[in-house]
Structures are given as C-alpha cells and as structure tokens.
Structure 1
Amino acid sequence: MDATTKIVTIPRRRAGREAAQAPPVDAALRRRLSPAQREEEIVREAVRFFAEFGFEGQTRELAKRLGITQPLLYRYFPTKDALVERVYQEVFLRRWNPFWEDTVRDARRPLRDRLVAFYGDYADVILTYEWIRLFMFAGLKGLDFNTRYLELLRERIFAPIVEQLRLELGRPPLRERPVSSLEIEAIWSLHASIFYLGVRKFIYNMPTGNVLDIVTMKVNLFLDGAPAVIGR
C-alpha cells in the first residue's frame, strides 16, 4: 500500500468548533467550483465534521454545513462508507511519510538519534485535533481504520525498530528469529505513550509540555530499559 506525505496544519478543538459555526459560502461561488475542487472541499469538511461529531454524524448535516444538497454530495460519494473511506485515505495514509521508514533503518546514525527524529516528526503529524479524534472515533465505531493503520505501523515501523534494537544488542536478526510478541509490546510501550499525548490534549482537554522534549525523554527511557527485556 503506497502512501504519500501530506503535512497540514489542523485546527485545534476550538478551531474545529468555530468551523462548525461558520456560515456556508455563497451558493453562486460554489457553482463555479470545478468537480475536483468541490470533491476536495467535501473531503476537507468531512474530516472536520467527523472529527467533531464522530462517524455517527449524518451526511445531511454535513451537506448543510457545506451549503449543498445531500443528493449533490452523493454524486461525489455514493455512500457514506465511501466518504468515510476517503477520510481514512486523506488523514491516515496521505500523511504517512515514507521517509520515516528510512530514518529508522539508517544505521549510519545512532539508534537513539533515529528514534528521536522519527517520533518527533511523527508526533507533528498525528498530534492534531482531527487525527487523534478520528482514530478514537473509528475504534469506538468498530471501523477497520485502526486495524489497517496498526498493521501498517507494525510492518513498516515496529519490525524495523526491533531489527535495529537486535543489531545494537547483539541479538539474532529477524531472518533467523521472527519478531516476538513481547518485542512488539516493548515498542508499543514507547509508541502508545506518544500517542497518549494527543489523547490528553484533544480528548481530555489537558495541557501537554514541549513535545520534542517529551519524545526525547520517552525514547531515552525506552532505550535504557530495552536491554533488560529485549537484550535477554
């Protein structure tokens, strides 16, 4: 599955609510949108809408926010499921940066530096109002967003981190011994702690400190403890 980078600025929770209250653009202006522009506008607003209300939000309300009719919305996305899938592609896959995988594997740099670089950049992408809330709502709704995205993480990030850790600790390479469940759990202890910064901010509405400082601290805790578990 190919993914391209798309780093965008996402409004915080307050900004999301303000967007919900914004009056629709004049209909005459909307008639001048090309099909590609209108589709992009629908997707952009759908991302904001579902991040605010969850995937139980109704397409007729989304159409109202867009200032268009529901039949017109369905001309671009025949079903709500099709629109939801496009939201997944837009938020989770288009913002995936393939360079992250190269960063983790670049053995010319110390592993500690690589993990700080990766998680610092990754945090900039995922610690947003829309990314965090959509991921949480998808899990609550039982959508397969989470499963697909976590499989992507496991394959392209978690396994390479385990591989690099084994190299640093003098353990057998993956070609000789597959990744163990405990090794994946060890990576989760780091990854989930960074994701939780977004939960604190956009779900619990609690402040967080300097993200890069926190990422550096968590990477140091992880690497300093890894020899006691993965190094066995």
Structure 2
Amino acid sequence: MKSTTRKVATPKRSPTRAAKSTRGASTMPGETAARPVTRRARTAPLDAREGAPGIDEPKGAANSVRGRQAAQSTRRRLPRTERQGLVLAKAAEYFAEHGLSAQTRAIAEACGVSQRLLYSLFPSKAALIEEVYNREIAGIFKAIWFVKLKDRSVPLEQRLIDFYRDYYESLLTRRWLRLFLFSSLAGLRMAPTYTDAIVTHALEIVVTEAAHDAGRDVPSKIDELTEIGWTLHGAISHLAIRRRIYSNDNSLPPEEVIALNVRAFLVAVPSLLPMPEAAG
C-alpha cells in the first residue's frame, strides 16, 4: 500500500500585513532589530565671547562650565580700578602698534573684553584715549625732575646730564614715542597738551638755570626762551626717535650722546642770551 504525503498549504500573508511587519526592518535571521536612532536637538551656538578667556581669566577656564563659572566669579571680584588699569595697559599697547583710529570693537578684542564691558569702563573712545594720555604720556613724567633741575648745589652740567639720561630711559621709550607720534597724525591734542603742560615748564627751568650759570639774563620773550631750550631738548628727543623708531643704530652709547649735547648747549648759551643790563 502506497504511503501518501499530505502537503499542508502555507497560508499566504497579505501584502499589507507583510509590509507593516517588515517596514523599517533590515535584520538578518537571528539578529535583533536595532533601536531607532533618536536625533538630539541641536543647541544654539554659544556666543564667541561667552566663556572666552579675558584679561582676568586663567587659560583653559572656558573649557568647562565650572571653569566659566569660576572665571566669571573672578571677573566679578576684580576691583573696577584694577580692571581699568589692565584695559588701559592693553589699549595703550594696541594704540602704539596700530594707531588711534581703530574702532572700539577692535580695541575691545585687543583688550580681551567685550565691547559692552569696554563701554562700562570708559563711556566713549575719547574718554579711553584721554585716560591713555594721563597714564601713558603725562603720567610717566616725574615731578621730582623739576626739583632736581633747580638744585644749584649740583653743577649745572651734571644736573642736565642726569635729567636727560633719566628722561631718555624712563620716558622716551618706543611705546611712548609711537603713541605721541600717532596722536599727532590723528589730529589729537596729546602732543600740544603735553608740551604746554610739561615740556614748556621744563624748558623754562633749563634756560633759567643756564642763564644763571653763564651770568646772562633770561630772554624777556617766552617764545625766544623756549626755542633756546628746544635746541637741547629737541636734540635728546630726536636721539630717541632715531634709535627707537628709525632703528638707526650707532656704536656710540646714548648716554655719551646726551653728554655731548649738554656740553654743546652750555657752550652756546653765552652767545644766545643777553648780557645783564648795567645798574644805574
């Protein structure tokens, strides 16, 4: 008797159900279907200045939230006057290298602060420049120089040499000269203000002491007096410009050049100043 194998018909799945069951599935037999990927919402980019190291932040502080918070706390604790001093120093350095015509945004960036913070420290660019003048131009002059120039217990030649050597080294620096020249090119009043307030007084003392030492009268006209003083003062100023701006190197040390100019001035004084009027 023949055995018969009965075929069991496999029920067909509807195309719709098959599509639903296999939609999105691309696994091989025996694999577990991967979880659907959930995209994280993109956060808005941080402001370029948020958390960026500033004039009073430690390096690397912006690399973490805690670092940013610590830096912000440090910034809040920094006294206003100290922060102003830091900004002024950086602003003066920037002005000396790039001139005084820069926009406040570039100045703030050079100082490592936001434009908003810059304006909170200085209400305007003009106010910032005025403070730079007070600190970096006029503020470097030493009032004690006036006193020492008048001290007749010291020979005049030595007084003048000491004064101009100190003036050359302490005040006529590269940065000071560049600020002074850039301010004039920008049409600002830094140079005239400094000359009227400080240099003219120094020239009066120099010529008055030279006249006394030579037994001569002081010129009655202030313009004549100051021009005589400029023959020495201008020579020292131009020496600094040649050495520190023009990079005109010379084997002769500046202190020796200063001494030469002082001696030449004192030799010329008797021929430049009037003789005392005869009494009666």
Query: Shorter-chain TM-score category?
Result: 0.7 to 0.9
Task: Give the gaps of 5 or more residues in structure 2.
Answer: 1-52, 63-67, 276-280
- For 1:221, the equivalent position in structure 2 comes to 264
Q: How does 1:62-101 map to 2 (within 5 A)?
A: 62-101=107-146
Instruction: Figure out how many residues of one structure are paired with residues of the other and give that number.
Output: 207
Task: Give the gaps of 5 or more residues in structure 1.
Answer: 1-22
Q: Percent identity?
A: 30
Whether the 8 Å CA contact 1:116–1:216 is kept in 2: the answer is yes
Report the Cα distance in structure 2 between the residues aligned to 1:30 and 1:79, rounded to whole angstroms: 26
Amino acid corresponding to residue 222 of structure 1 in structure 2: F
Report the Cα distance in structure 2 between the residues aligned to 1:46 and 1:96, rounded to whole angstroms: 20
Distance 1:198 1:76, change over 3 A: same
1:47 and 2:53 aligned: no
Query: Secondary structure at 2:140's aligned position in 1?
Result: coil
Query: Secondary structure at 1:94's aligned position in 2?
Result: helix
- For 1:17, the equivalent position in structure 2 comes to none
Report the Cα distance in structure 1 between the residues aligned to 2:167 and 2:95, rounded to whole angstroms: 22
Amino acid corresponding to residue 95 of structure 2 in structure 1: F
Higher relative contact order (CA 8 A, sep 6+): 1
Q: What is the RMSD of the two structures over their aligned residues, measured on CA atoms?
A: 2.1
Report the Cα distance in structure 1 between the residues aligned to 2:141 and 2:152, rounded to whole angstroms: 22
Decide which of 178, 189, 206 is 2:220's aligned counterpart: 178
Whether the 8 Å CA contact 2:214–2:269 is kept in 1: the answer is no
Query: Secondary structure at 1:204's aligned position in 2?
Result: coil
Report the Cα distance in structure 1 between the residues aligned to 2:171 and 2:71, rounded to whole angstroms: 31
Task: Tell me how far 1:155 sits from its aligned partner.
Answer: 4.2
Task: Tell me how far 1:154 sits from its aligned partner.
Answer: 4.2
Amino acid corresponding to residue 110 of structure 2 in structure 1: R
Whether the 8 Å CA contact 2:217–2:273 is kept in 1: the answer is no
1:108-133, CA deviations, whole angstroms, 9 ceiling, x for partnerless residues?
Answer: 11111110011111111222121000
Amino acid corresponding to residue 245 of structure 2 in structure 1: I
Report the Cα distance in structure 1 between the residues aligned to 2:187 and 2:164, rounded to whole angstroms: 27
Whether the 8 Å CA contact 2:108–2:115 is kept in 1: the answer is yes
Report the Cα distance in structure 1 between the residues aligned to 2:127 and 2:241, rounded to whole angstroms: 27
- For 1:111, the equivalent position in structure 2 comes to 156
Query: Which deviates more, 48-57 or 190-199?
Result: 190-199
Amino acid corresponding to residue 50 of structure 1 in structure 2: F
- For 2:49, the equivalent position in structure 1 comes to none
Whether the 8 Å CA contact 2:207–2:228 is kept in 1: the answer is no
Distance 1:60 1:217, change over 3 A: same
Query: Secondary structure at 1:143's aligned position in 2?
Result: coil
Report the Cα distance in structure 2 between the residues aligned to 1:179 and 1:138, rounded to whole angstroms: 29
Report the Cα distance in structure 2 between the residues aligned to 1:159 and 1:198, rounded to whole angstroms: 22
Give me the TM-score of the superposition, normalised by structure 2.
0.68
Give me the TM-score of the superposition, normalised by structure 1.
0.81
Whether the 8 Å CA contact 2:211–2:269 is kept in 1: the answer is no
Report the Cα distance in structure 1 between the residues aligned to 2:256 and 2:237, rounded to whole angstroms: 15
1:183-208, CA deviations, whole angstroms, 9 ceiling, x for partnerless residues?
Answer: 32121111111111222233323225
Query: Secondary structure at 2:201's aligned position in 1?
Result: helix
Whether the 8 Å CA contact 1:138–1:145 is kept in 2: the answer is yes
